[in-house]
Amino acid sequence: MNSAKVTTSPLIGKAIGVLDMQGGVCEHIDHLQRIGISARPVKHSQDFEGLAGLILPGGESTCLARLLKIFEIEPIIVRKYREGMKLWGTCAGAILLAGSLKGEAAHLGLIDIEVQRNGFGSQLDSFTCEALIPKISPEPVPLTFIRAPKILKAGEGVDILLCIDDFIAAAESPDVLVTVFHPELTGSLAFHRYFASKCGLQSRADQPILDPSWNMTSWTRYARIV
Ligand code: GLN
């Protein structure tokens, strides 16, 4: 008699990691902890064990791409992604994940989008606004764009979550989320909740989606006002 076939499920963990090489790391960890998700910085190959998801934060994509190469982290991200780890790239992180970059060679290439770096101009052309993104939140989501890229095109299998004027601001495939803005620099927890659920993790339901203590006039602070 044949013995029952044992099928193994993909390696899924319980924490979300934040790539800790450069950029907005502690802001993402703070947001994840507010919604009760176990979160930790990820720097070395052993740090990737047991992660359900990984956030590639905003910062400077050329610098991040160099560090990924120097520390040989690129192949680990690709392997873990293939094993089931979900990915979310914010701003520079979205640039790293894009399948194609206008006028430059792509980096990880894990989502079929075309991205133009610094699509709005210089740092001085940074701005905030808000938008209704029904899949993410029933309330308008505050958005912070800092020397942001534009997503110009999304390929097959990529859902557009938010389009503003001539560009795509947020999109996703089944395993990868990309936002060209920074939810971690606002009082909104909606995107972090959404990413946690994409990773199969349950976040705290007793937190308001928009932290009432958040100082909405600043994008530089991340700590709660006590
Ligand atoms: N302009 C930066 C880059 O090209 C991204 C800026 C950001 O992450 N806020 O990498």
β-strands 167-172, 159-164 pairing: antiparallel
Which residue out of 28, 31, 107, 182 is catalytically annotated?
Answer: 182
Q: Considering its fold, how many domains does the chain have in total?
A: 1
Q: Is residue 48 part of a domain?
A: yes
pLDDT per residue over 65-88, tens digit each? 999 999 999 999 999 999 999 999
Distance 26 CA to ligand 1 centre (A): 17
Per-residue pLDDT tens digits for 136-179 = 999 999 999 999 999 999 999 999 999 999 999 999 999 999 99
Query: Which residue, among 174, 175, 9, has the nearest Cα to 81 in the 3D structure?
Result: 175
Structural domain for 190, as ranges: 15-225
CATH of the domain at 82: 3.40.50.880
Q: Is residue 207 part of a domain?
A: yes
Is 186 inside a domain boundary?
yes
Residue 145 lies in a domain: yes
For ligand 1, mutation pick of 63, 91, 101 (most atoms within 8 Å of CB): 91
Is 9 part of any domain?
A: no
- The conformational region for residue 171 under phi > 0 = left, psi -120 to 50 = alpha, else beta, is beta
Would residue 161 count as lying in a domain? Answer: yes
Q: Choose the residue to mutate in 101, 118, 185, 186 for probing ligand 1, maximizing ligand atoms within 8 Å of C-beta.
A: 118
Residue 99 lies in a domain: yes
Q: Is residue 2 part of a domain?
A: no
pLDDT in tens, 188-207: 999 999 999 999 999 988 87
